[in-house]
Amino acid sequence: MTMTSPIASPLTENDRWLLSFYRSSEIDGAVFFGKVAETVRSGRLGADVAQHFADEAKHAAIWTRCLLDLDVEPLRIRRSYQSQYFDAVGAPANLMEILAITQVFEKRVIGQYRRQLHHAATHPRVRAALDEIMDDERWHLQYVRRALGAMRERHGAERVATTLGRYARADEEVYARTLAEYGDRMAFLEDDLPTGSRNRS
C-alpha cells in the first residue's frame, strides 16, 4: 500500500533534476540493451533482452510525460548512473557480465524507487510513474537471475559469484559518489547522506 499526500506540493528544481536523471538513465539503458538485443537474437533470453530494451525506452517516455504533465521540460543530464559503472569497472566483456551488472543495477534501482514511492513528500504524479515502472523493474530482476542461474554451468558458479561481487563493490562506490555529489537533491535518501552533504543550500 503506497502513501498518499493530501496536498501535492509544486515540483521543486531538485525534483526536476532527479526525474531528468531517471529519464537520462532509461535512455542510456535503452541504447545499451538495444545493442545487446542485436547480439542475443534467439531463444527465451533473446526475447527477454528485446523486451528489456523496449521497457527502457518506455520508461524514458514515462518520465518525459511525467515531467511535461508537471509543466517542466526535462533537463539535459550529461552523465547517467550506468556510465559511472563503466568508469569504475570498464564495459562488460561478455553476456554473463552484462547480466551480472544488470542484476546489481536493477537491485539498486528497485531499492531507490521503492524508497521514493513510500516517501510522504513524493508528488502523486511522480508516485504514479514509479508504480508504473516498478513492475517492469521487478521482472527485469527475475529474468536476469534466471539467466545467470542457467549460465553457472557454462561459466562456473564461482566465476559468476565473483563477477557479481565485483559489480556489487563497484555499485557501492558509484552510489557513495553519487550521494556525495547529488544526495541533497533526494530528500527520501536523507538517512544515507554523508554528514557534510546534508542540508546544503
Residue 194 contacts residue 178 (beta carbons within 8 Å): no
- Give pTM, 2 decimals: 0.86
Please report the domains of the chain, with CATH numbers, ordered by start residue: 13-185 (1.20.1260.10)
For 31-35, 155-159, 176-180, which range has the lowest pLDDT when averaged over its residues? 176-180
pLDDT one-digit tens code per residue, 88-132: 788 889 999 999 999 999 999 999 999 999 998 899 999 999 999
CA gap 57, 80 in Å, rounded: 15
CA gap 153, 137 in Å, rounded: 26
Residue 56 contacts residue 33 (beta carbons within 8 Å): yes
With a CB cutoff of 8 Å and minimum separation 6, the contacts of 29 are 56, 59, 82
CA gap 102, 108 in Å, rounded: 10
Q: HSE-up of 59 (CA within 13 Å, CB side)? A: 30
pLDDT one-digit tens code per residue, 23-44: 999 999 999 999 999 999 889 9
pLDDT one-digit tens code per residue, 39-82: 998 899 999 999 999 999 999 999 999 999 999 999 999 887 77
Residue 12 contacts residue 25 (beta carbons within 8 Å): no
